[in-house]
Structure 1
Amino acid sequence: MPTTYARLVRELKTLRKGRGVHGRIWDRVGTDLAAACGITRADGPSAARQKLVTRLTELVEQLPDDLQFAARAAFGLIPEVRHPLYQERVNWVAAEIDRDARTVRRRVDEAVEQLAELAATTTRRDTGGWHTAELAVAVALDQGQPEVIERYQVVVDQDAVDRLEFAAVFPVRRRDVDVHLLYGGTLRDRSATHDRPGFTLAPAEPLVRGNTHDFAIRYRLHSRDVMHPCVLHVPERPCEVFDLRVRFEHDRKRLVRTFDGVLRRSDAEPSGVQHAVDRAGEIHLRFSRLLPGLLYGVRWGGSVVCSARRAS
């Protein structure tokens, strides 16, 4: 009888076919892969896909860089590579790295073997039993003390969730910002995530599976000098919608660079798309179906490599 490792290799090779993680979920996920991702028959297709993407992303991040890139594309974890056929995604990677398709397929096969070993021997990262339905962020830079408001709507994936842990979606030192919870429970600081303040929100009552919960938080920075020139979000859990508004001082000629599901690679600066602000000096971006580990947001100066951090 095949070992768990052998079954996982087989199931991962099945998953990468067709549209990868975006195919018919119950036709793609075998018994052992479902167990490794925490997927049960009680999960609907959306919840099952979220668990699959989260766990697979977590495992891919533990691979060597060259295998990470090939694996993300193979399974459909890069938004611009959601081609309907596995071979089309292989060809895309081959063109990106200037190698032939046979080399890419070897890398994907090696990645599958390592992913199966990791899935069989490591435990899932604790997601806290919830995911983000919508994160709406408004940034006001046209005043002496910049302000940022984050509004969350989260969906509860298990019973008795009594805390929600998250971090600010923009880089700032905790001592340089005043934080005020507008509604949604009780807030307390926790250790910062790199250069972002981190928090734990305790709802008034424990949340049950299927519930939604809303909360909002306002950040008031002490001066313009402490505001990094970017809002860059790298989610650790799936997020259905990220709505971002940034208001600059009145400047019709300003250009900003936006990032919609960009893969951060150690060997290159992530490429974004240049946008002009509107006549009021604002830009409004709306990102959908965010995938963990990819980069979303806007930069109007500085370096993505230095400023982009993971936010839970």
Structure 2
Amino acid sequence: MEGLFGKLVSELRTLRKGRGLFVGQISDRVGPALREVCGVVEGDGPAEIRRKVAERLEGLASGLPEDLRVALMAAFGIDRDARLPFYQDRVRWAADRIHRDDRTARRRIDEGIDRIAELAASSSGGTDSLVSEASVAGWHTDELKITLVLDQVVPEALEFRRVVAERDHVSELDLAMTLTASPEREQPTSIDELGVDVFYGGTLIKKTLESTDRFGLVLALPEELRRDDRHDFALRYRATNGAIQPHFVCVPKHRTDLFELRIRFDLDRLPSHIWRLSEAFQRDVDDPTPTGETLWSNAAGEVYTTFRQLTPGRAYGIRWTTDTDDN
């Protein structure tokens, strides 16, 4: 991690240690990045530093999901009831409040720190700031509708998306698709294992492997968008190796207002269990013990669900298992 975002994450992880905001030498614990985004200036005493940092962090966390907000307020000792002397004690307090175990509470704190660091960096006017990905992209998703078809020889996903420009001169859209490989697989994912076709709305000018299983895509638009312009496009994804893992989720990088997901299963291999995943962590998608709302397929083997106002970085979608998977 580089830039203001990385510095903020590092400093926030240091600040949460010990007594958090109520550590004795608070001026030594609050680094230059935090001072910048919290408005701490030379000459501020300990009480003023604590007040400015607490107010800024509380404001940044106010718009986060409740579990992240509660975990963060405990981690830094901002919540009066969580002003315990040791970080582990505050983790345990947070775990009890969000009805999770200590390990999950720690993950919520880490996730919350990343989110408020993104928000703080994006709102900073400094030239070193790492602005949010949505601001850099200059667009957000108004509607995303995906149909995953699993009763064909090659699994296919049809994507219909409407985006809205947040600034003038938007000429390209950066997209991504993850094709999760089986845990038993020894060979890395090949660039050829994901086929991408454009039905309308642009020209695919780039397809790369950004990680071991995530494909980065760039769609060039037919013409530049101006601020508030809307644009529709459609893509088809094909898992050319014929195999996908038993889940399909959207993990938005940018603001996404509506996500509709429909999956058509093979009637000869219907899932024994289907779960709806909402605001899940990416690492939870493959958790050996699935959780989430139970869904049922209809007589055609189809299941449908919708999500609104998605949180960037969280996973939304459907997970399933078959009888053979359970054995």
TM-score interval (norm. to shorter): 0.5 to 0.7
Q: Counterpart of 2:198 in structure 1: which amino acid?
A: L
Q: Which amino acid aligns with 1:238?
A: R
Question: How many residues in Structure 1 have an aligned counterpart in Structure 2?
Answer: 235
Distance across 2 between alignment mates of 1:189 and 1:244: 25
1:204 maps to what in 2?
Answer: 222
What are the residue-to-residue correspondences of 1:18-57 with 2, within 5 Å? 20-21=62-63
Give the match's secondary structure for 1:131: strand
- For the aligned residues, what is the CA RMSD? 4.0
Q: What's the CA shift string for 1:234-254, capped at 9, x where partnerless?
A: 111111011101001116663
2:294 aligns with 274
Q: What's 1:9 paired with?
A: 53
For the pair 1:257 / 2:275, whether they are aligned, the reply is yes
Q: Which residue of 2 aligns with 1:139?
A: 148
In the alignment, what sits opposite 1:94? 96
Change (3 A) 1:247 1:159: same
1:296: how far off? 0.6
Contact 1:16 1:74 in 2 (8 A): no
SS in 2 for 1:94: helix
Deviation at 1:265, TM superposition (A): 6.2
Give the match's secondary structure for 2:56.
helix
TM-score normalised over the length of structure 2: 0.59
CA distance in 2, matches of 1:15, 1:165: 30
% same residue? 28
Residue of structure 2 aligned with 1:161, choices 170, 174, 181 = 170
The answer as to whether partners of 1:190 and 1:199 remain within 8 angstroms in 2 is: yes
Contact persistence 1:178–1:222 (CA under 8 A): yes
Q: CA deviation at 1:165?
A: 0.6
- Which secondary structure does the structure 2 equivalent of 1:145 belong to? coil
- What TM-score, normalized to structure 1? 0.62
- Displacement of 1:116 in angstroms is 10
Q: CA deviation at 1:185?
A: 1.3
Q: Relative contact order, CA 8 A, sep 6+: which one is greater?
A: 1
- Flag structure 2 segments of 5+ consecutive residues without an equivalent: 1-34, 40-51, 74-78, 82-89, 182-188, 323-327
Contact 2:252 2:310 in 1 (8 A): yes
CA contact (8 A) 1:154 1:212 kept: yes
Counterpart residue number, 1:182: 199
**Secondary structure of 2:63's aligned partner:** helix
| AA partner of residue 15 (structure 1) | G
The residue matched to 2:300 in structure 1 has which SS?
A: coil
- Cα distance in 1 for partners of 2:54, 2:197 equals 50
Q: Report the 3-state secondary structure (helix = DSSP H, G, I; strand = E; otherwise coil) of the residue aligned with 1:9.
A: helix
1: distance between equivalents of 2:119 and 2:172?
32
Q: Distance in 1 between matches of 2:238 and 2:100?
A: 43
Alignment of 1:200-239 (within 5 A): 200-224=218-242, 226-239=243-256
